[in-house]
Amino acid sequence: MTFSVVIPVYNVKDYLPKCIDSVLAQNFDDCEILLVDDGSTDGESGAICDRYAAAHPEQIRVIHKPNGGLGDARNVGLEAAQGDYLLFIDSDDYIGPGMLTALAAAIDRFHSDVIDFGLAVVSGDKVTKQLVDALPHDRAFTLAELPQMLLALPNACSRCWKRSLFLETGIRYPSRVWYEDIRTTTKLFAAAGSICAIADVFYYYVEREGSITRNPNVARNAEILDAFDDLLGWYRENGLFEQYYNELSRLAVDHILLAGSVRVLRADPESELLDRFQDYVQKQFPDWRDNPYLQQLPRKHRLLVSLLLKKRYGTVRALFLLKQKLS
């Protein structure tokens, strides 16, 4: 099989060389790299792409395009790709050695449409967290057989995707929106004929200012509701909503009630979004409090849910500020 590595690029001159070098270091012959310059304005990112393509013309192609956002850049890359399998790497991140060899072995063994692998969070020069989904590593499976796959981190970059999965389903990344991964990854899981997982950590996510998880723009956090409208609408249209009701309900609790509320609280504890988040989950999933998956929440998350339901937003914010001060 062949791989196409799609790297959307936008104003990342300080990170881009490490990202590209990590792919070149794989020493895997059947791999092309597509650098999609999404209208960079820093005066250097586009030029870095061109220099790498000139130095590695047999492996690297560059696409310069007007700015359309991360989702649009990924779509342009997957349409131009020629490989059997796709990997998406954000240009401020990087991958670990041996990744493509391990993926090729898993594909030879299981012939899956999606291959899941571990992700590490990097802050400064240190790995602060490793995330490996609790999935079987000795067999392939479908979402119907293992519906809790929907609760995995909905990250496009910690999976390898069969390109035909996009081409045959028409699923694409939305443009110029936040939360493009949860709108897309969760649909691809349902559409895949086979999924498998590797226990190794291969993707290194670099935390930096400006990421969604750190962005103080409260208004844009409302887009998580648009993302769920999109996602739940797709599951309903495809007759899958009832089948995966509990998983989708837990997903809403995780990403709207918990993560969404925490992001807003850090910036504005008086925001009307906090009540809107609760109302949305209640409307979409009236019996969400009876969801058996909620018993699997860590104790601190169950406490957080309880405080949010009681609208004790000031208490929650104070706890986070205290945690930040002590760390």
β 159-162/126-131 pair status: unpaired
Model confidence at 320: pLDDT above 80: no
| Same domain (yes/no): 188, 277 | no
**pTM for this model (two decimals):** 0.94
pLDDT digits (tens, 9 = 90+) for 249-279: 999 999 999 999 998 988 888 899 999 999 9
CATH of the domain at 133: 3.90.550.10
Average pLDDT, the chain: 94
| Same domain (yes/no): 241, 144 | no
| Same domain (yes/no): 148, 260 | no
pLDDT digits (tens, 9 = 90+) for 162-190: 999 999 999 999 999 999 999 999 999 99
What is the pLDDT at residue 85? 98
**Last residue in a domain, options 208, 223, 240:** 208
User: Percent of the chain having pLDDT more than 70?
Assistant: 96
Helix (H) / strand (E) element for 206: namely: strand 195-206
| Same domain (yes/no): 193, 227 | no
Q: Report residue 205's pLDDT band, with 50, 70 and 90 as the boundaries.
A: very high
What is the pLDDT at residue 46? 97
**Last residue in a domain, options 169, 191, 208:** 208
| Same domain (yes/no): 194, 309 | no
Strands (E), 40-171: 60-65, 85-88, 94-95, 114-123, 126-131, 159-162
**Last residue in a domain, options 187, 208, 229:** 208
Contacts of 171-174 with CB under 8 Å at 24 or more apart are: 172/71, 172/75, 172/78, 173/70, 173/71, 173/72, 173/74, 173/75, 174/71, 174/230
| Same domain (yes/no): 93, 223 | no
Total structural domains within the chain: 2
Q: Report residue 53's pLDDT band, with 50, 70 and 90 as the boundaries.
A: very high
| Same domain (yes/no): 15, 150 | yes
| Same domain (yes/no): 184, 235 | no
Domain that holds residue 279: 213-326
What is the pLDDT at residue 215? 57
Handedness of CA 102, 106, 112, 114 (dihedral sign): negative
Rounded Cα distance, 161 and 171, in Å: 12
pLDDT digits (tens, 9 = 90+) for 282-314: 999 999 999 999 989 999 899 999 999 999 888
| Same domain (yes/no): 256, 185 | no
For 266, what's the count of Cα atoms within 13 Å in the CB-facing half-sphere? Answer: 17
**301 vs 8, more confident:** 8
| Same domain (yes/no): 187, 234 | no
| Same domain (yes/no): 217, 281 | yes
Model confidence at 327: pLDDT above 80: no
Assigned token pair, 157: 């970059």
| Same domain (yes/no): 224, 322 | yes
User: Percent of the chain having pLDDT more than 90?
Assistant: 85
